[in-house]
Structure 1
């Protein structure tokens, strides 16, 4: 998550100092106005619902990172079918986790300039230099990543849509084509 100064459509600020010893659980739901703004942000016809159950924990010192966030997201969105442009409803159930590591402001610039190798299956690590995180922004980002990039209606017959390659016989509507220069043959000088 980057700090761009732009207001988040689904902002849910959480102070990490409020995490209890055995962890904290919070649940978030987007209201109607937030769903409308999220749909506008993602350029889709609608976000019907967005709910998230979040678990926050302090991590042991021997582990990478200081805090962990585990989210179970449940959403329903409306997108346009890529073939018919009709509205298609999509249900999204996605889980994700993020590790937060606290670093000083001087370390933030160093961390951003370093090259980091990572595995796609690893948990995301986010470097933070403050006590508050916007869980709502992470939920919104993962919602956008979870959306089907090519939504289609289920009842579409793929054989009836798209281009059909015509054979040469189908293109040849007049099998006995006359020579266009035949008329000029009569004009030829007889010498």
Structure 2
């Protein structure tokens, strides 16, 4: 029998949150960090945690705010060497039963004001998953092209004879 529940899942139901909100100081276990590292394609995560506040949003939704912090290993896109880095990611997201499904198709023409506040995400089953939120905001904060500190990319010298125009110049000069 397979278990479809993600390894790093921290479900919170709307009814668990008092009107004043609830603070969560989340630390992760090694298997949870390994699962997140695998999901994000990272060599490793040494520390992953979050300080979040979950508050009621509108009639039957939830708002999550706070910070995700991580100490992780990334691979440099220039040298292919692994290096350690730290990430601090702000979290600000809202959920509502009448919110937008983030996986649904949308029409770009509907985006009247790109500076407008995002609509709340769809709240299904009356609960949210803080593990998924932590993973998502960590992923959003990662540099897509990480570079090890002190490593700079230097383009190799170009050989003019390798230019696509070199062949054309050779043909042009051959006729003279």
Scaled by the length of structure 2, the TM-score of the pair is 0.75
Q: CA RMSD in A?
A: 2.9
Whole-angstrom distance in 1 between the partners of 2:156 and 2:97 = 55
Q: Secondary structure at the match of 1:144?
A: helix
Aligned length: 155
The structural deviation recorded for 1:10 is: 1.5
Matched, 1:165 2:158: yes
Unaligned runs of 5+ in 2: 162-176
After the TM superposition, which residues 149-164 of structure 1 pair with which residues of structure 2 at under 5 Å, given as runs? 149-158=144-153, 161-164=154-157
Q: What corresponds to 2:34 in structure 1?
A: 36
Unaligned runs of 5+ in 1: 169-191
* 1:49–1:75 Cα contact (<8 Å) kept: yes
Segments of 4+ in structure 1 off by > 6 A? none
After the TM superposition, which residues 76-115 of structure 1 pair with which residues of structure 2 at under 5 Å, given as runs? 76-103=71-98, 112=104, 115=107
Whole-angstrom distance in 2 between the partners of 1:144 and 1:6 = 22
Q: Secondary structure at the match of 2:120?
A: strand
The structural deviation recorded for 1:72 is: 0.8
